[in-house]
Amino acid sequence: MAFLLNQVFHSYGLRLCRIKILILCIFTTFFIGCFLSFASINSAECNCNTAKISSIKISSGGHKLGVVVPFRDRFEELLEFAPHIHKFLVAQNIDHTIYIINQVDQYRFNRASLINVGFIIAISEGCDYFVMHDVDLLPLNPLLSYAYPSDGLFHVASPELHPRYHYPSFVGGILIVKREDFQRVNGMSNKYWGWGLEDDEFYVRLKEAKLKIIRPTNLTSGVKSSFRHVHDRVWRKRDMAKCFNQQEVNRRRDRQTGLKDVMYQVQSQHTVIIDNASVNVINVALKCNRTLTPWCLCSEENKSSTANFGKVNRNQNVKNKNNAVR
Ligand code: UDP
Ligand code: MN
């Protein structure tokens, strides 16, 4: 009898044990299943651009760089520029925000006024220095520094390295400026509609304020491999028209206009992710004082025949070692 009872209890205990194991298995499968599904959601999230962007660790000494790009109708260049400059700056641990200042009014392109607007926006968002940056000029040599300049302004696209412009007073292309220096010279002139000379006028402002222009030294990459200038002169024509008395006025230092009086309206702002780079596209409508600068629109009959004026001047600069703007 005792033997029989023992058998019954034994088989009952075995069944209980099996049931327990079965329940344990069901729970384990359930938990593993849950874990895997959460894990896969998380890894899918990690693939998204925002996660990549926010995970970048930056230590740039408390400084923040605003990358200000004067822009209109250069979409293909932007697609290449944004991820390139973002990667380039991350490699240098530069805390930065990219601002594409997109001119949306009907007037001729005004690089200097767009830079003034970009500066105002970048500073209002906490940048303490900025770089005015052509969208079609890509730095290639990692030694080209975008760090906060300890002294003066830093001209990254130096005439010794720029693929196209080699005259000594050239300050175009890529120029790093501290907030207080840009404010000190009242930014850039607002009188330059169309291509050219606005950077030369800015050079005169810097000279008058006795601000130092520092340039990269000891780089062996030279004019051929320091930058890539993504610019086909036929596809991306430069607007060299001159009308009314533009030619005469644009050759003189402008003491009238600048950062303080740039007239514009921000029409909209958009955050756009290009590959892994986040850019702020600011649609800006510039306003034109038609009495002061009637050449913000050149009708066909008002255009002068010296359409190549800008180019000629730049070449003269090389010969005379003189600036065209006085
Ligand atoms: N730009 C633009 N749209 C234009 C003209 C100029 O976006 O229609 C901007 C762009 O950032 C460009 C910069 O202004 O890189 C300088 O113009 P451009 O390339 O014509 O001058 P370059 O230095 O090649 O003579
Ligand atoms: Mn260009």
Q: Which numbered ligand comes closest to the C-alpha of 157?
A: 1
Phi and psi torsions of 194, nearest 5°: 95, -175
Phi and psi torsions of 234, nearest 5°: -85, -45
Pocket test for ligand 1, best of 114, 136, 317 (most atoms within 8 A of CB): 136
Q: Three-state SS for 256? A: coil
Pairing of strands 129-133, 65-71: parallel
Q: Which numbered ligand comes closest to the C-alpha of 115?
A: 1
Q: If 0-12 CB within 10 Å is exposed, 13-18 middle and 19+ buried, where does residue 75 land? A: exposed
Which protein residue's CA is at the shortest distance from atom 7 of ligand 1? Answer: 71
**Residues, CB-to-ion distance under 5 Å, ligand 2:** 136, 231
Pocket test for ligand 1, best of 80, 98, 103, 135 (most atoms within 8 A of CB): 135
The number of helices, as runs of H, and strands, as runs of E, in the chain is 9, 10
**Separation of alpha carbons 114 and 105, rounded Å:** 12
- Contact yes or no for 266/282 (Cβ under 8 A): yes
DSSP strands (E only) in the chain: 65-71, 96-103, 129-133, 137-139, 153-155, 174-178, 213-214, 227-229, 264-274, 277-286
- Contact yes or no for 67/131 (Cβ under 8 A): yes
CATH tag for 63-304 (out of 3.40.50.720, 1.10.579.10, 3.90.550.10, 3.10.20.30): 3.90.550.10
Give CA torsion, residues 289, 290, 293, 298, to 10 deg.
140
Q: From residue 68, give the alpha-carbon distance in Å to each of 78, 82, 118, 119, 311.
A: 13, 12, 6, 7, 25
| C-alpha 134 – ligand 1 centre gap (Å) | 6
Q: Please state the atom number of ligand 1 nearest to the C-alpha of residue 236.
A: 20
**Separation of alpha carbons 306 and 240, rounded Å:** 9
Per-residue pLDDT of the chain (326 residues; tens, 9 = 90+): 344 334 434 444 545 445 465 455 455 544 444 343 433 333 333 333 333 443 445 668 899 999 999 999 999 999 999 999 999 999 999 999 999 999 999 999 999 999 999 999 999 999 999 999 999 999 999 999 999 999 999 999 999 999 999 999 999 999 999 999 999 999 999 999 999 999 999 999 999 999 999 999 999 999 999 999 999 999 999 999 999 999 999 999 999 999 999 999 999 999 999 999 999 999 999 999 999 999 999 987 777 644 443 333 443 344 333 458 98
Which protein residue's CA is at the shortest distance from atom 20 of ligand 1? Answer: 238
List ligand 1's pocket residues with C-beta within 6 A.
69-74, 109, 111, 134-136, 172, 195, 231, 238
| C-alpha 208 – ligand 2 centre gap (Å) | 27
Q: Which residues contact 9 (CB under 8 A, 6 or more apart)?
A: none
Task: Give 208's Cβ-side CA count (13 Å radius).
Answer: 15
pTM metric for this prediction: 0.81
Pairing of strands 96-103, 277-286: parallel
